[in-house]
Chains A and B, each alone.
Chain A
């Protein structure tokens, strides 16, 4: 008799997590491509360009920022859960030792790790943009203000960007599994969205509240938060709801077909 193995969930989780880190290297490669493209774009496209002059003197002011890189990182973040929830990729877990709980938790672990990686590289790339800009333009014409960034500022931007990425990924991970459950849910999802939009179009005048107001309210709930701690709690709680929802959905799916 082969001796029976008594697996420990935490141990299997750890193995799965590192296995996924290794085997999803392509995702990091994609991220780097997205970010290189965004850095290039940041240097070429002047975010806000204005000129003003008085008499014989004319100033041209161009400002640069790393926001494009963060934007592209968020777009990349949208693609990741779609890949992980694809049934072909989910099946890989079940080629080896796994159950749905460890599979989901190791996926969530991977998503959080990738969020952190994406955020750190995105935030540091704004420094790279500054350095590149320094070399390609006349250093004397650079306005010092905002050119040097304090480590505290970078740390705060890394934390908040990580939280944004986690938020995006948790929502899309949830939707990705919902799609696997049944196509009916996708139709239902769009039906609800259309119903909300139509509802607002019809009744916005009577209730004095438009769809834009609602969207603004939702965005402000996160974006308008000035305290980093409260913001973190809000985002993490939202992500927890979506990740739990995703785990719940996957319990409705067959383990592997």
Chain B
């Protein structure tokens, strides 16, 4: 059963399109990573799924309903980001108690355990927490709610490296124990790729790809070597990224549909075959323009 279904989903802010013609489905009990650069539309999409934002056109269905302003969706969804508003009058422990009233699936022992593990002070107020501590507290609440759909928008903002690691581990362990649908957004895929099953890559509000992380890792290879040999090898192939190394040497990232013999031929021509990490591939796929940051400096030198 698919939990989220979008067809031609579009959201305009005035003249700017935050999402345009986005179509995808997310199956239940999966962890999906929503990846994209700043301004790709990740937050807009997540807020639309959570029912906070109304789409301009297209269809969206979450748990079989249009999520906008829908109580059924709200009761089964937890949306965690660093703009979550909490009442200033309650201490953290009082907050946990109050929040638990809203969620029948609330896991008291998990909340208590994580709260103690991360060393939060129960008598403190949410407004007095540091950025990383706020993210930690929001994460504890989101995990403990055991909502059928849990959405994390950039959950690790401000967390230090060890807390991040612990967070991902806690997320995975709790997910295995209580399978549910989780969406994580991040611009750092390398950090979360180990816990993800699927990936949804966005660029300028459109879908670049949606596939299992395993497939993404094998989707492309890098070829490094002489420009002529590489041109010969990649003739008619889908080139994702080209980078000048020096002189006649270039690095080309290309879709991996090479036959065994073609790869052997590459070896004979002295072309190195490189693995492309999922993280790098996403960066190449969502590049705003040809070339990289180096070209900006190279061009500047020429002028």
A residues sitting closer than 8 Å to B (CB atoms) are 1-7, 9, 12, 15, 19, 22-26, 88-89, 91-92, 94-102, 251, 254-257
Name the one of A9, A96, A99, A255 contacting B102, with C-beta atoms under 8 angstroms: A96
Contacts of B14 in A (CB 8 A): none
8 contacts between A and B (CB under 8 A): A1-B29, A2-B105, A2-B180, A94-B85, A95-B84, A96-B99, A97-B74, A99-B74
Contact residues on B (Cβ < 8 Å of other chain), bracket: 35 or more
Contacts of A1 in B (CB 8 A): 28-29, 148, 179-180
Name the one of A15, A24, A256 contacting B47, with C-beta atoms under 8 angstroms: A256
A98 contacts B105, C-beta separation under 8 Å: no
Q: Which residue of B lies closest to A257 (CB)?
A: B52
A97 contacts B179, C-beta separation under 8 Å: no
Bound CA–CA A254/B68 (angstroms): 9
Bound CA–CA A9/B75 (angstroms): 10
Contacts of B71 in A (CB 8 A): 7, 9, 12, 97-99, 101-102
Contacts of A88 in B (CB 8 A): 85
Inter-chain contact count A-B, CB under 8 Å?
Answer: 95
Name the one of B29, B74, B89, B178 contacting A25, with C-beta atoms under 8 angstroms: B89
Bound CA–CA A12/B105 (angstroms): 15
Contacts of B178 in A (CB 8 A): 2
B102 contacts A97, C-beta separation under 8 Å: yes
Contacts of B83 in A (CB 8 A): 91
Q: How far is the CB of B97 from chain A (nearest CB, A)?
A: 10
Contacts of B101 in A (CB 8 A): 15, 19
Tell me which of A4, A6, A89, A96 has the highest count of chain B C-beta atoms within 10 A of its own C-beta. A96
Contacts of B32 in A (CB 8 A): none
Name the interface residues of B86-125: CB closer than 8 Å to any CB of A: 86-90, 98-99, 101-105
Tell me which of B52, B72, B75, B104 has the highest count of chain A C-beta atoms within 10 A of its own C-beta. B75
* Shortest 7 CB-CB contacts between residues of A and residues of B: A23-B87, A7-B75, A91-B85, A256-B52, A2-B148, A96-B102, A99-B71
Bound CA–CA A26/B88 (angstroms): 10
Bound CA–CA A234/B220 (angstroms): 73
B90 contacts A22, C-beta separation under 8 Å: yes
Contacts of B99 in A (CB 8 A): 96
B129: interface (CB < 8 Å): no
B69: interface (CB < 8 Å): yes
